[in-house]
Amino acid sequence: MKLSNKSQNLPIQFFAALVQKVNAAIAEGRDVINLGQGNPDRPTPPHIIKAMQEATTNPQTHKYSPFRGIHELKEAAAAFYKREYSVDIDPDTEVAIMGGSKIGLVELPMAILDSGDSMLLPDPGYPDYLSGVVLGDVHFDTMPLLEENEFLPDYEALSEEVKNRAKLMYLNYPNNPTGGTATLEFFENTVQLAKENDITVVHDFAYGALGFDGKQPVSFLQADGAKEVGIELYTLSKTYNMAGWRIGFAVGNAEIIEAINVIQDHLFCSVFPAIQHAAVAALNGNQDCVEEQRAIYESRRNVLIEEAYRIGWDIKAPSGSFFAWLKVPEGYTSEEFSDLLLDKANVAVASGNGFGEYGEGYIRVGLLVSEERLIEAIARIEKLELFKDKAVSITK
């Protein structure tokens, strides 16, 4: 049987291939420190679990959810944005519930673009953005995210041709994989670019709760006029350690929200109602767990930076997310260095080239193991003597 062209043209799932490599090493009995994953390592807070348990005992949650989600969750999302970002959201017209923000990112090109249209993607960027390109039968141009520009796209470097044909733009801050963050000024410039070129903006705010050094990440919707040109996608996966629960939402421009809702009317019957009630408890409940989680990631980041510096590995400290973006030593490609770390040090990382052309020369490290395991990972890498000429002594 011949599969559809779309099925055959879908990109190889980068993270699935990485998992296979790591599992093969573990199957050999090796103690692998997995820094390549993006899966939160801590449990969902107890009050959220309790809300889920209570909701599952209610027979009403055993039925189909309303197609567009329960209204309580939409109200909770709107209240969350008002409390955290001083952004007004209409729960009736400006919120779309989805089974994790990945669904929104993949379905949006199908919802708002025509076959053959073009979109702008960050490079490096989340690999599943490309899944939406194929399923939407659209084209794309990339915006390089360079270290010298704080991993922000340079809009002035985009040609008039690229800007004219672009109808949709994806952004993601705090950024996966670079750990870079955006400023309000940058988002204001984004709104201006979008208005001048009739571009719809989608901001992937998956790591919105994870800013370091006392700086809360900026929401795109805080920029003047943002709701006129775009939306923001938020997931509870990282903020509340609910990755496996698969719950998120989009907020912003009512027309785009309606487009999402229409296509989801045909693809899904929303999310298990009990999960939605648990999400309400997460968004409306005590937020101390969020700050505790953020502080843990920041402490892990500091340990990673200090240990890498000790062995001579020059690292730019991420300002957000739970990832660090590290340069590979001279003489190695990203994939060669990643394979070396797994084969010789039993340390798994994500090869930068898996995130795009401009990811070459880097690896992504997740801050998703204990500080002790991070220290051990760097100690194992130290034994490879790749940085011995640059190692420094740290006095504690």
Q: Would you state the structure tokens that stand for residue 10, as one six-digit string?
A: 């879908």
Q: Is the pLDDT of residue 258 over 70?
A: yes
CATH architecture of 46-284: 3-Layer(aba) Sandwich (3.40)
Q: What is the mean pLDDT of residues 54-64?
A: 97
CA atoms of 392 and 375, how far apart (whole Å): 16
> CA triplet 75, 68, 263: central angle to 5 degrees?
135
Q: Would you state the structure tokens that stand for residue 268, as one six-digit string?
A: 């899904």
CA atoms of 109 and 304, how far apart (whole Å): 38
Confidence of residue 393 (pLDDT cuts 50, 70, 90): low
Q: Would you state the structure tokens that stand for residue 349, as one six-digit string?
A: 């990382």
Query: Can you give the pLDDT at residue 16?
Result: 79
Query: Can you give the pLDDT at residue 391?
Result: 63
The model's pTM is 0.96
Q: CA 152 from chain center: how many Å?
A: 15
Q: Is the pLDDT of residue 13 over 80?
A: no
CA atoms of 281 and 293, how far apart (whole Å): 17
Q: Could you confirm whether domain 5-43+288-390 is CATH 1.10.10.60?
A: no
CA atoms of 79 and 91, how far apart (whole Å): 9
Query: Can you give the pLDDT at residue 212?
Result: 98
Cβ atoms of 95 and 251 within 8 Å: the answer is yes
> CA triplet 223, 238, 318: central angle to 5 degrees?
70
Q: What is the mean pLDDT of residues 264-286?
A: 97
Q: CA 318 from chain center: how many Å?
A: 14
For the chain, how far is it from start to end, CA to CA, in angstroms?
A: 65
Query: Can you give the pLDDT at residue 18?
Result: 84
Confidence of residue 17 (pLDDT cuts 50, 70, 90): confident
Side chain identity at residue 369, one-letter code:
V
Q: What is the mean pLDDT of residues 53-58?
A: 98
Q: Is 120 helix (H, G, I), strand (E, B) or coil?
A: strand
Query: Can you give the pLDDT at residue 1?
Result: 87
For 162-185, what is each residue's pLDDT tens digit?
Answer: 999 999 999 999 999 999 999 999
Residue 200: is it exposed, middle or buried by C-beta count within 10 angstroms (0-12/13-18/19+)?
buried
Write the DSSP assignment of 263-285 as a string of letters.
HHHHH-----HHHHHHHHHHHHS
Query: Which strand (E) or helix (H) includes residue 122?
Result: strand 118-123
Cβ atoms of 270 and 69 within 8 Å: the answer is yes
Q: How many CB atoms lie within 10 A of CB 253?
A: 22
In residues, how long is the chain? 396
Q: Is the pLDDT of residue 395 over 50?
A: no
Query: Can you give the pLDDT at residue 110?
Result: 96
Q: Would you state the structure tokens that stand for residue 391, as one six-digit string?
A: 């190692």
Q: Is the pLDDT of residue 293 over 70?
A: yes
Query: Which residue spans within 148-212 are E strands per DSSP?
Result: 166-172, 200-204
Per-residue H/E/C for 305-351: HHHHHHCCCCECCCCECCEEEEECCCCCCHHHHHHHHHHHHCEECEE
> CA triplet 91, 93, 98: central angle to 5 degrees?
75
Q: Is 119 helix (H, G, I), strand (E, B) or coil?
A: strand
* Whole-number percent of the chain with pLDDT over 70: 98
Place of tokens 């939409």: 74
Query: Can you give the pLDDT at residue 392?
Result: 59
CA atoms of 283 and 236, how far apart (whole Å): 9
Residue extents of the structural domains in the chain: 5-43+288-390, 46-284
For 101-120, what is each residue's pLDDT tens digit?
Answer: 999 999 999 999 999 999 99
Side chain identity at residue 53, one-letter code:
Q
Confidence of residue 31 (pLDDT cuts 50, 70, 90): very high
Cβ atoms of 77 and 283 within 8 Å: the answer is yes
Q: What is the mean pLDDT of residues 319-347?
A: 97
Averaged confidence pLDDT in the chain = 96
Domains 5-43+288-390 and 46-284 in one fold: no
Place of tokens 């930068």: 352
**Residues contacting residue 86 through CB under 8 Å, at least 6 positions apart:** 222
